[in-house]
């Protein structure tokens, strides 16, 4: 590999890393701070109520990612293209919507042998957390949440790769 190709490869790798970090930060903010309680509670419901709630959530999340990514790209002078950014954020939005409709991710978890882990931390899990009196003890940490977030991180990586290379 000649020195120009090596330099280009290093720039692409650094761009990927910077884009991924920006998307990761924006994902956390958008998925937890920007998403409304109504969207979180209804995005998995059947029918148009759930679809619209999920769509509004994904729109807010995608705008959050764009708002975080743009200043990072400008300040670091990243060589991003409009097409790469649209493709990356678009694919990420579609994958996020798919998972956040809930039944889709649950079905995938069931098919790959993760049904018990999916229910971890809920009353449906055989080893669910309990109080001293033996009653269900609510927890923020669930298998469904862990699988949801890891799914989103996978697609953030794919999105960052598209944004950095297209």
| pLDDT per position as a tens digit, 17-62 | 999 999 999 999 999 999 999 999 999 999 999 999 999 999 999 9
Percentage of residues of the chain with pLDDT beyond 70? 92
The pLDDT score that the predictor gives to residue 153 is 98
pLDDT over 70 at 140, yes or no? no
Average pLDDT over residues 87-112: 97
Count of structural domains within the chain: 1
Task: Give the separation between CA 19 and CA 49, rounded to whole angstroms.
Answer: 33
Q: Which residues contact 56 (CB under 8 A, 6 or more apart)?
A: 36, 39
Task: Give the separation between CA 22 and CA 159, rounded to whole angstroms.
Answer: 11
Residues 121-137: pLDDT tens digits? 777 666 666 777 777 66
Considering the entire predicted model, what is its pTM?
0.88
Which candidate, 32, 31, 21, places its Cα nearest to that of 75? Answer: 21
- Judge contact between 150 and 128, C-beta under 8 A: no
Question: Structural domain of residue 37, as residue ranges?
Answer: 3-165
Distance of CA 29 to the CA centre of its chain: 11
Residues facing residue 136 across a β-bridge: 130
At 83, the pLDDT band (50, 70, 90 cuts) reads: very high
């Amino acid at each position: 590999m000649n020195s120009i190709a090596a330099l280009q490869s290093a720039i692409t790798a650094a761009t990927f890393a910077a884009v991924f970090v920006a998307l990761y930060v924006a994902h956390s903010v958008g998925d937890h701070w920007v998403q409304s309680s109504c969207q979180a509670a209804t995005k998995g419901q059947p029918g148009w109520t759930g679809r619209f709630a999920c769509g509004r959530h994904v729109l807010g999340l995608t705008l959050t990612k764009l708002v975080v990514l743009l200043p990072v790209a400008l300040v670091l002078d990243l060589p991003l293209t409009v097409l790469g950014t649209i493709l990356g954020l678009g694919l990420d939005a579609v994958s996020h919507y798919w998972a956040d409709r809930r039944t889709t991710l649950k079905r995938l978890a069931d098919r790959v042998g993760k049904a018990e882990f999916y229910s971890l931390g809920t009353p449906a899990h055989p080893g669910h957390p309990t109080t001293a009196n033996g009653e269900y003890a609510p927890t923020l940490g669930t298998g469904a949440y862990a699988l949801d977030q890891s799914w989103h991180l996978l697609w953030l990586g794919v999105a960052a790769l598209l944004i950095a290379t297209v």
